[in-house]
Amino acid sequence: MTEQRYTLTLPAEIYEELRIQAERRGMTIKELVRQCLKLGLIAIKLEETPDSGLFIKERLPDSDGIRETRLILA
């Protein structure tokens, strides 16, 4: 598979968050952006199917509870 180059301009705060998260994971920003784009494409495809959705489950700190959030792209 050939790669396509695309220049992307990001707001400073998004770039900084990407940099921090990539560093925490021992990844490059490029690798992290690719992962984010793949996840975004999955979410977009799910929106095309009625009654489908992408849910994020996260454990609540200092609790046995779990919060579930539905990701809605607007």
Neighbouring CB atoms inside 10 A of 21's CB total 14
Q: What is the pLDDT of residue 63?
A: 84
Q: What is the pLDDT of residue 73?
A: 66
**Closest of 6, 32, 9, 36 to residue 19, by C-alpha:** 32
Task: Round to whole Å and give the CA distance between 16 and 2.
Answer: 29
Residues whose CB is less than 8 angstroms from the CB of residue 60 and which lie 6 or more positions away in sequence, other chains included: 66, 67
**Closest of 38, 37, 19 to residue 29, by C-alpha:** 19
Per-residue pLDDT reduced to its tens digit, 45-71? 888 888 787 888 999 988 889 999 887
Per-residue pLDDT reduced to its tens digit, 4-49? 999 999 999 999 999 999 999 999 999 999 999 998 898 888 888 8
Whether 42 contacts 54, CB under 8 Å: yes
